[in-house]
Structures are given as C-alpha cells and as structure tokens.
Amino acid sequence: MSETAQSRAVPALSLAGLLGVWAVAALLTRDPQLLPAPWQLAAPFWAELRSGDLLYHLGMTLWRVACAFVLAMSIGVALGLAMGRSERLDRWLDPWLVVFLNLPALVLIVLCYLWIGLTEVAAILAVSLNKIPNVAIVLREGARALSPDLDAMARVYAMPRGARLRHVVLPQLAPFIAGAARSGVALIWKIVLVVEFLGRSSGVGFQIHMHFQLFDVGMVLVYALSFIAVMLVVEWRILQPWERRVRRWRAA
C-alpha cells in the first residue's frame, strides 16, 4: 500500500473499528433505550432533520461557537502579544491569567448567569472568558519568539505600524494563532454545550438536556454526533485549508 493511500485508509479503518465496537456493545446490551445500535439512529435523525429542529439547534450552537471564538481569539491574541512584548505588563497580568486558567468552566458559567442573567450575552461571555487565558498563554510564547532581527529591520526602514503588524509580526505568530484556534474550537464548542444545557432554550446543549430528562439516549446521540460532524467539516474545510495557505512559503 502506498504512503498516501495508507494515510487515508488508516483513519477510515480506525473509525469503522469504533463503529464496530459500538455495534457489538449495542447487540450485547440488547436494550435500544440504553444503547441503540448505529443503524437505529437513522430514523430519528431523518425525522429531526425533516422537521427542521436539528438544523435550527445546530445553527444556534454554531452561531454561539462562532461569536465566542471570535471574541476569545481577538482578546486573547491582543493580550498575549502585549504580555510577550512587555515584561512589566507580563509581571502584572500573569497572576490574573493563572487565576482564570484554574477557575473551573462551570464556576464561570454559573457566575455569569447569576450576575448578568440567563441571556445570550452571559452565555457567550462565559465561554469566551474560559478560553481567553489559553489563547493568551500560547500567543505570549509566540510574541517572545519574535525575531529581533526582523524587528530591527522594520525600525530601520521605518515601516508603518499597520504594515509591521501585518507583514512582520502576524506571519511569525501564525503557527501559534493556528494552534490556539484549533484547540480553541474544540474547547469552545464543548463549553457552549454546557452553557446551553444550563441556561439557554435553544442549541444542541438544550436539546441534549431535554432528551436527557426524557431518558432518550438515541436523541442525545443524534444531536451529539451531528454536531461532531459539523465540527469536523469546520476543521477540514476551513481550519486546515487556512493553515496550509499561511504555511505555503515553508513548503515552497
């Protein structure tokens, strides 16, 4: 088997193996209420898709993920960059970062809901606050690794701030931003589900909450797997192509 064929076949076989384990477990359990077999999810999935509920709730969750992602990335990148460039600022803000990094996600969510109310703003803010410290820490490392030679070059040639940021600083930070973005999306969508579970009336998390109370394992799985599929598409169609594009100069 050739190298590329193998690199494509292995993940597919591995996923098929997981599906096999699930099917065997379902057959052994012999209780579709507790663990339906993979093919038993097809009918409820189709019904949910046709009624429009699935798409509506997936859309709401995706919208919250996008808002929290943009907010967490922009604040985290700015904070990390500033902390990596200024030792003084770093000394002052580092303890805050450690506190927020060790604050359990659940505590932040509950506090946001209690203080702001059960609103969309509270939900998105809670998710963002959970992610900002991670982004800031990754980007701080990136800012510390910025090349002093390129910095000197930009100063000698008096490059304007905007051009310096766009052509000198951000390309150096791109691998760090990509890393923070990918781990960020994975973390954010999980926290968004918790936020919806606790205090929203729409979204995948809300649906899982409802079907959890009805002991409907099948629907819980339908919603969870559908959203995993959406996030895989985001990874393959958006994040990975973007990363390849910014890395083009390395491969050339």
Give me the residues that bind another protein (CB under 8 A), please: 149-150, 152-153, 155-160, 163, 167-168, 171, 174, 246, 249-250, 252
Q: Helix count (H) and strand count (E) of the chain?
A: 13, 0
Minimum CB distance to another protein smaller for 115 or for 249: 249
Distance of closest approach, residue 234 Cβ to another protein, in angstroms: 25
DSSP code for 145 = T
Distance of closest approach, residue 174 Cβ to another protein, in angstroms: 8
- Total residues found in the chain within this entry: 252
DSSP code for 197 = H
Distance of closest approach, residue 169 Cβ to another protein, in angstroms: 11
Minimum CB distance to another protein smaller for 56 or for 242: 242
Distance of closest approach, residue 241 Cβ to another protein, in angstroms: 17
- 214 with 90: CB under 8 angstroms? no
State the sign of the Cα–Cα–Cα–Cα dihedral 183, 194, 47, 44. Answer: positive
- 182 with 191: CB under 8 angstroms? no
Distance of closest approach, residue 156 Cβ to another protein, in angstroms: 4
Minimum CB distance to another protein smaller for 50 or for 166: 166
Minimum CB distance to another protein smaller for 77 or for 136: 77
Q: Please report the DSSP string for 75-137 in residue order.
A: HHHHHHHHHHH-HHHHHHHHHHHHHHHHS-HHHHHHHHHHHH-SSHHHHHHHHHHHHHHHHHH
Minimum CB distance to another protein smaller for 1 or for 252: 252
